[in-house]
Structure 1
């Protein structure tokens, strides 16, 4: 996977995470994914349900990802998280990426 397959989630979005402990780990993982900054380290690999919301708007988009990388950012209190879409079809991936790029 090349780094340019990751779309960065801007700071204007609220990212809510829910770790799914008993989710089937043998599902399809996409070559496309997202990258965001988070104040806590996230277990790699893990399956997350992400609810993505524009801070100034109502409504959200929900999708599943598999975390592939969680890296501390220097002396900052943040982690850079890389996730690939998981158990999702191409239409849903396009919907999420369009939602992110529209703001």
Structure 2
């Protein structure tokens, strides 16, 4: 079986109480996403609510994500995140 590796996207996710953000890398492989702690600068910055919408495929375009307040260092970075999270059935094996 050939594994398909998707993008590795540096993301910043806001703390529950707002303000500070933690840095992570979103890695997509064979249609499965995993968020791994990282020290890299974030290309896309999300609140936890925006992450949930993104996870559920709620942002179909980069423009829709920007209108919802998602921030990114470039249109390319945001488009890469949207492409990685749309057209994939959401499944939540753990609480986040």
* TM-score of the two chains, using structure 2 as the length reference: 0.31
Could you say which structure has the higher strand fraction? 1
Could you say which structure has the higher helix fraction? 2
Q: Which has the higher contact order (CA 8 A, sep 6+)?
A: 1
